[in-house]
Amino acid sequence: MSRKPCCVGEGLKKGAWTTEEDKKLISYIHEHGEGGWRDIPQKAGLKRCGKSCRLRWTNYLKPEIKRGEFSSEEEQIIIMLHASRGNKWSVIARHLPRRTDNEIKNYWNTHLKKRLVEQGLDPVTHKPIASSSNPTVTTPPENLHSLAASSSDKQYSRSSSMPSLSRPPTSGFNTVSEVSEITSNVWTPVQDGSLGCKKRFKKSSSTSRLLNKVAAKATSIKDILSASMEGSLSATTISHTSFFNGFSEQIRSEEDNSNASLTNTLAGFDPFSQSSLYPEHEINATSDLGMDAQGYDFSHFLEKLGGDNHNEENNINIMNVEYGHDLLMSDVSQEVSSTSVDDQDNMTGNLEGWSNYLIDHADFIYDAESESLEKHFI
DNA sequence: AACAGTCTCAACCGCCTCGAG
DNA sequence: TCTCGAGGCGGTTGAGACTGT
């Protein structure tokens, strides 16, 4: 074999990077681009392992990296994704624009994991820890948002092992939004290569806004489902069977479709309270509707999904604004229409598909010009 | 002011996968 | 087909910052 080992040679430096080293690495990559890490140390005049250079660049020096406080919305997404994917930090990072897997991992280990434990939830399974083994279990949060919203507390107290959690209003996302507004500010990425260790950063308001909307979508789905269960389903104009089975098909094609926690959240089940967001009979009704698919119309559901301009205050209109009803109907239904319908998943199962579709088929794209994040289906 | 305990997170370690040879 | 290096990934560590006494 002709290849050289990555990190051979004595005298390779370890430990914290100096400003000088950072400058050398940044300068080299700006000139020659990424890649070929094995040769970078020598060419850039660094006494570092190529792997160390790559990590330094990807986790810290890369200009597009976002650093600093995680917004409540980002926290929600991390928690939801962790519930469904586990410690797949790279997977989670793909859904959080400009966050690195390392940063997410650190944040989980130092903040979110503790918060779940504090709430009496097993950070691995996201299920309640048995009260016998955890006498300090507190009242579980009413929903996911209370966990994320509490993040603002940490800005005021570091000494307490965990910030105190207060139960937010039931329309949690407004609260989250407000919290984000209060705490958000301009974040400062490290762009000059200087060591920014232990710096405290503020949140990105643009990221917060967008992610808040994503989270609000989950709420809207719950609202819609609830409304639908109250009898507002009307005559068929769109085959919900094909629509939803498309998602079911989608989720079946996933390598990992065991994301019950996340999807349960969206489908009327809150993994944090471990209780249904809807009365049991309503969930049963959901299943019944799914089983008896013929003749029902989910255009009401889709309309809600697509946006509700009259409900802007409650952030329910996000689908229309950010994702677009048309976009939804075109992109999604195209995929659906090409999907064979061979079974009749119940509605909960279909919502699983929907939530996973959102997670796995959309990417955030940052528009530097408008300083906004846009979500694109992929 | 000094010390001890706690917390944070950059960096490292080791394993895995993929692809080149 | 096998070997091995590059790159990717998740787990862990430890220096430094922070807080309480």
Q: Are A240 and A298 in contact (CB under 8 A)?
A: yes
Q: How far is CA A46 from CA A13, A18, A35, A152, in A?
A: 9, 11, 16, 40
Which positions of strand B lie within 7 Å of protein CB atoms?
Answer: 6-14, 21
Residue A375: the pLDDT is 42
Q: Is A179 helix (H, G, I), strand (E, B) or coil?
A: helix
Q: Where do the domains of chain A lie, and which CATH numbers do they carry?
A: 19-61 (1.10.10), 214-364 (no CATH)
Residue whose CA lies closest to nucleotide B6 C1': A159
Residue given tokens 């016998």 in the structure block: A132
How many Å apart are CA A334 and CA A123, to the nearest integer? 38
Q: Which nucleotide is nearest to A18 (CA to C1')?
A: B10
The burial of A265, by beta-carbon neighbours within 10 Å (0-12 exposed, 13-18 middle, 19 or more buried), is given as buried
Q: Which nucleotide is nearest to A195 (CA to C1')?
A: B10
Residue whose CA lies closest to nucleotide B5 C1': A159
Please check whether strand C approaches the CB of A161 to within 7 Å. no
Q: Which nucleotide is nearest to A61 (CA to C1')?
A: B10
Please check whether strand C approaches the CB of A113 to within 7 Å. no
pLDDT in single tens digits along all 378 residues of chain A = 333 444 555 678 888 888 888 888 888 888 888 878 888 888 888 888 888 898 888 888 888 888 878 888 888 888 888 888 888 888 888 888 888 888 898 888 888 888 888 778 888 888 887 653 443 333 333 344 445 444 333 333 333 333 322 222 222 223 333 333 323 322 333 333 333 333 333 233 333 333 333 333 433 333 333 333 333 333 222 223 332 333 333 333 333 333 333 333 333 333 333 333 333 333 222 222 223 222 223 233 233 333 333 333 333 222 222 222 222 222 223 332 323 223 333 333 333 444 444 444 444 443 443 434 444 433
Please check whether strand C approaches the CB of A197 to within 7 Å. yes
The alpha carbon of A22 is separated from its chain's Cα centroid by a whole number of angstroms, namely 31
Protein CA at A375 to nucleotide C1' at B1, angstroms: 54
Amino acid at A282: E
Protein CA at A16 to nucleotide C1' at B2, angstroms: 28
Residue A69: the pLDDT is 81
Please check whether strand C approaches the CB of A82 to within 7 Å. no
Q: Which nucleotide is nearest to A110 (CA to C1')?
A: B8
Q: Which nucleotide is nearest to A3 (CA to C1')?
A: C5
Please check whether strand C approaches the CB of A106 to within 7 Å. yes
Q: How many CA atoms lie within 13 A of A29 on its CB side?
A: 22
Q: Are A146 and A169 in contact (CB under 8 A)?
A: no
Which residue intervals of chain A are DSSP H helices?
19-32, 40-44, 50-56, 72-85, 89-94, 101-107, 113-118, 144-149, 172-183, 205-227, 240-252, 260-266, 280-291, 299-306, 318, 325-327, 333-337, 347-360
Which positions of strand C lie within 7 Å of protein CB atoms?
Answer: 3-12, 15-20
Protein CA at A104 to nucleotide C1' at C15, angstroms: 21
How many Å apart are CA A4 and CA A6, to the nearest integer? 6
Residue A293: the pLDDT is 28
How many Å apart are CA A52 and CA A41, to the nearest integer? 9
Q: Which nucleotide is nearest to A2 (CA to C1')?
A: B21
Q: Which nucleotide is nearest to A104 (CA to C1')?
A: B9
Protein CA at A321 to nucleotide C1' at B9, angstroms: 37
Protein CA at A85 to nucleotide C1' at C8, angstroms: 17
Q: How far is CA A287 from CA A88, A290, A304, A316, in A?
A: 31, 5, 20, 25
A98: alpha, beta or left? (left if phi > 0; alpha if psi -120 to 50)? left
How many Å apart are CA A341 and CA A241, to the nearest integer? 8
Please check whether strand C approaches the CB of A310 to within 7 Å. no
Please check whether strand C approaches the CB of A98 to within 7 Å. no
Q: Which nucleotide is nearest to A15 (CA to C1')?
A: B11
Protein CA at A155 to nucleotide C1' at C9, angstroms: 31
What the block records as the tokens of A265 is 């959240």
